[in-house]
Amino acid sequence: MASSSGSQGVSLSSINLLYSPMVTVRVGPDKQEFGVHKELLRFHSTYFAKALSGKFVEAQTRIVELEDIHPLLCKVFLA
């Protein structure tokens, strides 16, 4: 029988991270694209939290370009 205490469940705030708008992150010289939930990025990264808020272009377009980041590093971060 499953526990009703919720200790193994997923919190509502965690679920909300997965229902936020998508952001396109373009990395490397070839601009490989990754689609990621905006709030998930903001929650796990101070850089993305700042880039995707306020009057920054990235906040308006929901596109972040990181030419100096290798795509493999981005895959590791997103995993």
- Per-residue pLDDT tens over the stretch 48-73: 999 999 899 999 999 999 999 999 99
Number of domains in the chain: 1
Answer whether residue 2 shows pLDDT above 60: no
CA distance 37 to 25: 10
Strand partners, 55: none
2 lies in a domain? no
Q: How confident is the model at residue 7 (pLDDT cuts 50, 70, 90)?
A: very low
Report the CATH number at residue 25: 3.30.710.10
Answer whether residue 10 shows pLDDT above 70: no
3 lies in a domain? no
Q: Which helix (DSSP H) or strand (DSSP E) does residue 50 occupy?
A: helix 46-51
CA distance 51 to 60: 10
24 three-state secondary structure: strand
Q: Which domain, by its residues, includes 43?
A: 12-78
Between strands 32-37 and 63-66, the pairing is unpaired
